[in-house]
Structure 1
Amino acid sequence: MNGINMPKKFKIKHILLLLLLGVAITVVVDLIRISKYELIPRRPAEKIKLQDNEVQYELANGATEIDWNRLDGTLRYIKEEYDCSDFRLVNLIRILYEAGDQIPEDYKNKIEEVLFNFRYWWDESGENSMCYWSENHQILFASAEYLIGQKYPDTIFPNSGLTGKQHLQKARKRILDWLEMRWNYGFIEFYSGTYYKEDIGALTNLIDFAEDEEISVKCRMILDLLFYDVATQNINTMFVSASGRAYKNNRTGGSGSTLGGMTTYFWGSGEKIGPGMMHGMMTTQKYELPPVIAEIAKDSSNVVIRQSNGLDISELKAEGYYGTDTRSMMMQWGMEAFTNPEVVRNSMKHIRNCNMFSNEFIGEFKILDLKVIDWLHLEPLLIRLLNPQPNGVAIQKGNTYTYKTKDYSMYTAQSYHPGTYGDQQHIFGMNIKNHFSIFHTHPAIEKDVENQSPNYWVGYGHIPHAVQDKNVNLSIYNIPDKKGMMEMDLLDYTRAYFPSEKFDTAYIDRNYVFGKKDETYCAFIGANNFEFRDEANDDVIQKGKQTFWITEAGSKNEDDSFEAFVERIKNSKVSFSAETLELNYQSNGKTYQLKFGEDFMIDGKLTDTNYSRYDSPYAKAEKKDKTLTFNYKGKSLFLDFDKLIRIYK
């Protein structure tokens, strides 16, 4: 028997060795292949002068003498396909449609050559480092492709091999899919003072120039919803709120936080905005802001606004956005969900199919481009084990709660994925009327360390568990002991933006911070003592990894004097366990209880922080409702998305 069995064992052993050798050789070959990937620069080495906005502005305001060579920088930028070329296309398209007959023939040929050879979508030939995928870029690229295709229907575009008409048809589907997503779920980049501007530019062009009535009407409707968002979250024309994507100025507030002047134009002084991507709003004859939205924006009564924006990754499958088709990838990558376990294999397939390893934004995916990982479907397991910081780029559903009075507004993305990384999300803050804002955060990296996001001012190292009821916010931070995969730093403190010099009165009293500006009052309460950082007067530090911040707002109308407000806050009962991460707070006759990662209780009752699409005095609606109605002060707006009905009075 032994004489028969030995050869079999011998063969099995050698087969296994051959398999292991084959795997090793495959990995080595893959590593050599991957080492040869080269990234394409997303920005020019030297700054290019871009004047398309200024040229469009001059033409729109009656200029007849134009130095067309001023567009050379813009054409070079687009031709080289640098990131944000789609921004440059917005007003170049307006120039073609509104003043095309003024462009000299030879210069128009120069423009057309650039436009015909451009890579309008990720599935076309070529490679570059443009960001096609975020919510605003999706509609910018689709808007440009549609309108250029419409203008040159019979021209064959050399890069794609498609005619203009075929480009139009291709872009039309993406436009309608994008509009439907916004109707059903709201904006992924919710309340973004930066990226709503880009949406406005793309939508206004489609409204003004698209010959397709369905596109034109639906774009008007989605622009209505965007301006409703801005109206409900603004206070006296200052637009700062919880957000899927916010930068420093979107968090600190101030006189410049007016959505590029849009809030001032529509419900402020009426001053028109100057050159820029949104200037089409100043000249459009096809979009008028429904009066009810301006009235909502000016509402100074005490009001609670609850809203649901976007989807969680866990909802993608049920909602039909889980594949690698264009529509699904628009949702997944629109959420900036690249590495998350649920979608990482989709990302890898998409990157391979579209030849995108040379793209600077996603070039690091090459470390997963091993055949062994792909064959064994190991990507989700590896991501779960490593939990890399890029998981925090994903913008998931924001259940936002905003409380507005004539003196202040406070806002929170309720229970937004506590403890996870946060790339550009803004979870909580308070607007001191329209003067400035205050907020707290766990910085991702130290002050003055360069990184676009996250950094000291943008995003979070680890997101707090934050909840709000009217003028009270409770936030618990639970910072881990060890850095995660690819985590740049792990700071052992949290901090607040609290510009003391901008207040009439502001001071720290141990673990309390108090501020008064005109008739608006505010307070922070912490687990540990506060201190101003170094010699800064706007940077309040609270040391510790398991801590809390309680924020309470007040006013002369609510508390009479500032001294009475301070006394009330100091007499409010607070208890916190750093071990169980449970916070209790009693204020103004209410008892609040929050345990990190668990439920929010008010007076012993569970508070539901999962909201319907709209829940405010102005509108009530569930996600994917077929119609929407907005009412305030005798004015109204009715929208029926499928039937293309838009009525306002």
Structure 2
Amino acid sequence: MATSSADQRQLTPWPKFGSGGLEAPYVKRLIDFVNARLYMADHRALLLLKCMIAGDLPPRLNDQAVDAILGFRFSMLEAGTDSMTLWTENHQVTAAVAEYLAGQVFPDRIFTNDGRSGVRHQRAARAQLMIWMSDRFRFGFSEWLSNTYYAYDIAALAMLADHADDPGMAERAEMVIDLALLDLALNSFGGRVAPSMGRAHSEQILHPDAAEIMPVWHSAFGGNPEVDIDKLTSLFVVRERYRVPAAITELATEQPVRRVLSSQGLDVNEVRDELRNQPFHPRSQSLDLIRFWWGQQAITTPETIVDTARAMRVLELQDSRVLAPLRRYVKLPNPVLVSTLRTINPITTGKALNRANVQTVTTGNYLLSSVQRYQPGCFGDQQHIWHASLPGEIEVFGTHPGSSQLSQDHRPPTPSRWVGNGVNPDAAQHHNVLLVQHNLRMRRGYFEGPRQEMAHIHFPFVLFDQTRLGPSWVAGRRENSFIGILGTHTFELVSESEIVQRGQHTGYAVMVGDDEEYASFADFLQQLRQYRLRLSGDRLTLSSPFGRFELTWCKEFRVNGRIVESDYPRYDAPGVQVPRNPTEMTVRGTRHRLRLDWSTGKRISTAG
């Protein structure tokens, strides 16, 4: 356990039955949701287990809760045709924690969905949790920096740390919470978490103050959020064991000026070799590969489709409502699957969360964050490529608005107007300058709706103190923060918060600054006008008296003639420098240090 922590506050406990909204109707809603196995029922199963572990439910209500837990489907390995997506990265951990704790609470009971005992469920869940946590330590999160899904991961791990009888299990859960909170600390601005993200939702991009992660942020780094027992994040807010290490708190609250480079996840084609060479949990079986691939949503890629079809047949998932669009292809012979996939070119290949090399630059006045050279020209989904934040809740970002013919039972289909990209751009960042190319000439895909030949930028004019708009440029000031965007094509103002560039191949450059660099907004504008942006063939060039930036589509990114690498280590940031695929790491705050050693399971926080 960490021996030194800045987080010594008295935390709000989980409410007792009959108080704080925890009444019989609430528990019955959880039971009904779990029994119906609706999307995110694994979240409700965790909340229901929390109510049961508290031990104060009336006997009849407790019996109903027990029946619901014993009848639940915890894994894609179990039979079921419901709409739960238990294979994605965040659902893998929420469902496995629920299964582990259910097996621990009811070791000798028979779970009616598959006829196995609680002991066997706990043993299976333990194995998968150790693999999942080890992979996150070694490779990072496929759903990188998500202000939605990190909240779910952290909440589930806090529940595991609180209630696992195995101290080693609890300690490793705390270590992965440390990593997730470190990511949030390094990639936030003014308490808002809206960097580049592997999976994003429109409201949580536009209004990060209302994102799922915010109760976690406030509880971890200062504040006393109310316990909302309808939200999974309440499990972190009421945590009993985990305390935030002082070193991470110091990075989050005392070091606003930083440049963070980090690597998250794996490319789909890396997975076989990396899992085979994983020092703690080496594995090469098809089912092991499927767990990782489906965790990163790489279900219909050329590298995975054969194993996907095999898994669907073996696990009898053809009748799953979520996987129904694949049903007709599962019957094809394996040699035909890859060629068929390449022929139909489905947009679902864009769901795969490949390795992300993320750069985030922050000062006390702005944030600029982007994922470098992420699958340019390929289909996108929920990946949020770049984002700039300024004071006053100003969020600026750009996308190629996508269109999908696939329906979703539980959320709007993606990519969409502001979520993800129909076709991914090529983006590269150097400190406070970002270059972006949109090339929409790739061939159309199966399930793709009408392709819009445009890129657009969310730029909320009404929230700025001052703005200027020219034929192919825009700039804004909020307090002491400045942002400017130059375009290769005309900027068309279509609303008070949206700028459009029309064309199949367009580009723009984003620059942020503050009063530490510029004497005034007028000075920022004067320098902005000295920049020249040009798109010639596949090369986007930004030139000025102060430097030259060149982004060649899917090739080099050069600054003043020198190639800038976009292949990042696990962390290169103030306080933490770690290579890819680490077995240990040290985090240094202003006054404290945190050492995490996965090989020994040691987590030590010290002063100095």
Length-normalised TM-score, structure 2: 0.92
- Per-residue deviation at 1:575? 2.1
- The equivalent residue for 1:82 is 38
* Runs of 5+ unmatched residues, structure 1: 1-55
Higher helix proportion: 1
Matching residue within 86, 94, 107 for 1:132:
86
Mapped to 2, the partners of 1:212 and 1:538 lie a distance apart of: 52
Alignment deviations for residues 339-370 of structure 1 (CA, whole Å, 9 cap, x no partner): 10010011111111122122222111112133
Matching residue within 377, 401, 404 for 2:335:
377
Confirm or deny that 1:284 pairs with 2:239: yes
Secondary structure, counterpart of 1:426 in structure 2:
coil
Secondary structure, counterpart of 1:444 in structure 2:
coil
- The equivalent residue for 2:577 is 620
Confirm or deny that 1:307 pairs with 2:262: yes
- The equivalent residue for 1:334 is 295
Secondary structure, counterpart of 1:377 in structure 2:
helix
Confirm or deny that 1:458 pairs with 2:419: yes
Look up the equivalent residue of 2:292 and give its one-letter code: M
Confirm or deny that 1:256 pairs with 2:217: no
Mapped to 1, the partners of 2:418 and 2:134 lie a distance apart of: 33
- Per-residue deviation at 1:285? 2.5
- The equivalent residue for 1:471 is 432
Confirm or deny that 1:601 pairs with 2:558: yes
- The equivalent residue for 2:520 is 561
Matching residue within 311, 314, 318 for 2:273:
318
Q: Is the 8 A contact 2:541 2:551 kept in 1?
A: yes
- Bigger mean CA deviation after superposition, 416-425 or 322-331: 322-331
- Per-residue deviation at 1:273? 4.7
Identity percentage of aligned residues: 26
Secondary structure, counterpart of 1:58 in structure 2:
coil
Look up the equivalent residue of 1:641 and give its one-letter code: W
Mapped to 2, the partners of 1:642 and 1:176 lie a distance apart of: 12
Mapped to 2, the partners of 1:254 and 1:64 lie a distance apart of: 27
Mapped to 1, the partners of 2:126 and 2:197 lie a distance apart of: 28
Mapped to 2, the partners of 1:190 and 1:120 lie a distance apart of: 24
When residues 511 and 132 of structure 1 are mapped into structure 2, their CA distance, relative to the original with a 3 A threshold, is same
Confirm or deny that 1:227 pairs with 2:181: yes
Mapped to 2, the partners of 1:250 and 1:69 lie a distance apart of: 29
Mapped to 1, the partners of 2:442 and 2:566 lie a distance apart of: 29
- The equivalent residue for 1:243 is 197
Matching residue within 359, 364, 376 for 1:401:
359
Mapped to 1, the partners of 2:263 and 2:111 lie a distance apart of: 41
- Per-residue deviation at 1:481? 6.8
Q: Is the 8 A contact 1:242 1:427 kept in 2?
A: yes
- Per-residue deviation at 1:165? 0.5
- The equivalent residue for 1:639 is 596
Confirm or deny that 1:574 pairs with 2:553: no
- The equivalent residue for 1:420 is 378
Alignment deviations for residues 473-532 of structure 1 (CA, whole Å, 9 cap, x no partner): 000110117532221121011100011001111232100011111111101111111121
Length-normalised TM-score, structure 1: 0.86
Matching residue within 74, 77, 88 for 1:123:
77
Mapped to 1, the partners of 2:80 and 2:546 lie a distance apart of: 64
Mapped to 2, the partners of 1:488 and 1:347 lie a distance apart of: 25
Mapped to 2, the partners of 1:337 and 1:406 lie a distance apart of: 38
When residues 65 and 300 of structure 1 are mapped into structure 2, their CA distance, relative to the original with a 3 A threshold, is closer
Q: Is the 8 A contact 2:481 2:515 kept in 1?
A: yes
Q: Is the 8 A contact 1:265 1:273 kept in 2?
A: no
Which residues of 2 match residues 345-364 of structure 1 at below 5 A?
345-364=306-325
Mapped to 1, the partners of 2:488 and 2:430 lie a distance apart of: 20
Mapped to 1, the partners of 2:157 and 2:412 lie a distance apart of: 31
* Runs of 5+ unmatched residues, structure 2: 1-12, 277-282
- The equivalent residue for 1:37 is none
- The equivalent residue for 2:390 is 432
- The equivalent residue for 1:298 is 253
Secondary structure, counterpart of 1:239 in structure 2:
coil
Mapped to 1, the partners of 2:426 and 2:339 lie a distance apart of: 26
Mapped to 2, the partners of 1:643 and 1:173 lie a distance apart of: 17
- Bigger mean CA deviation after superposition, 415-424 or 257-266: 257-266
Secondary structure, counterpart of 1:460 in structure 2:
coil
Look up the equivalent residue of 2:562 and give its one-letter code: K
When residues 254 and 349 of structure 1 are mapped into structure 2, their CA distance, relative to the original with a 3 A threshold, is closer
Matching residue within 492, 500, 504 for 1:531:
492
Which residues of 2 match residues 491-510 of structure 1 at below 5 A?
491-510=452-471
Mapped to 2, the partners of 1:302 and 1:63 lie a distance apart of: 44
- Per-residue deviation at 1:436? 2.4
- The equivalent residue for 2:477 is 516
Q: Is the 8 A contact 1:192 1:244 kept in 2?
A: yes
Mapped to 1, the partners of 2:476 and 2:85 lie a distance apart of: 42
Secondary structure, counterpart of 1:150 in structure 2:
helix
Look up the equivalent residue of 2:289 and give its one-letter code: S
- Per-residue deviation at 1:574? 2.3
Higher RCO, 1 vs 2 (CA within 8 Å, ≥6 residues apart): 2
Alignment deviations for residues 266-325 of structure 1 (CA, whole Å, 9 cap, x no partner): 334444553321222233221000011111112445321000000001211211369554
- The equivalent residue for 1:182 is 136
- Per-residue deviation at 1:603? 1.1
Q: Is the 8 A contact 1:445 1:489 kept in 2?
A: yes
- The equivalent residue for 2:53 is 97
Look up the equivalent residue of 2:493 and give its one-letter code: F
- Bigger mean CA deviation after superposition, 112-121 or 462-471: 112-121
Which residues of 2 match residues 579-590 of structure 1 at below 5 A?
580-587=537-544, 589-590=546-547
Alignment deviations for residues 368-403 of structure 1 (CA, whole Å, 9 cap, x no partner): 133xx31x5111112123321010010111000011
Look up the equivalent residue of 2:185 and give its one-letter code: A
- Bigger mean CA deviation after superposition, 124-133 or 476-485: 476-485
Q: CA RMSD in A?
A: 2.0
Look up the equivalent residue of 1:228 and give its one-letter code: L
- Per-residue deviation at 1:74? 1.8
Alignment deviations for residues 194-239 of structure 1 (CA, whole Å, 9 cap, x no partner): 1111112210111000011221010000000000000001111011
- Per-residue deviation at 1:66? 6.0
Q: Is the 8 A contact 2:377 2:442 kept in 1?
A: no
- The equivalent residue for 1:547 is 506
- Per-residue deviation at 1:552? 0.5
- The equivalent residue for 1:49 is none
Q: Is the 8 A contact 2:247 2:588 kept in 1?
A: yes
- Per-residue deviation at 1:247? 1.0
Q: Is the 8 A contact 2:52 2:65 kept in 1?
A: no
Which residues of 2 match residues 7-18 of structure 1 at below 5 A?
none
Alignment deviations for residues 107-139 of structure 1 (CA, whole Å, 9 cap, x no partner): 211111111111111112332221011111000
Mapped to 2, the partners of 1:436 and 1:573 lie a distance apart of: 26
Look up the equivalent residue of 1:365 and give its one-letter code: L
- The equivalent residue for 1:411 is 369
When residues 124 and 254 of structure 1 are mapped into structure 2, their CA distance, relative to the original with a 3 A threshold, is closer
Secondary structure, counterpart of 2:543 in structure 1:
strand
Confirm or deny that 1:389 pairs with 2:326: no
- Per-residue deviation at 1:86? 0.3
Mapped to 1, the partners of 2:477 and 2:14 lie a distance apart of: 42
Look up the equivalent residue of 2:50 and give its one-letter code: R
Matching residue within 73, 78, 81 for 2:29:
73
Mapped to 2, the partners of 1:384 and 1:188 lie a distance apart of: 24
Mapped to 2, the partners of 1:316 and 1:333 lie a distance apart of: 11
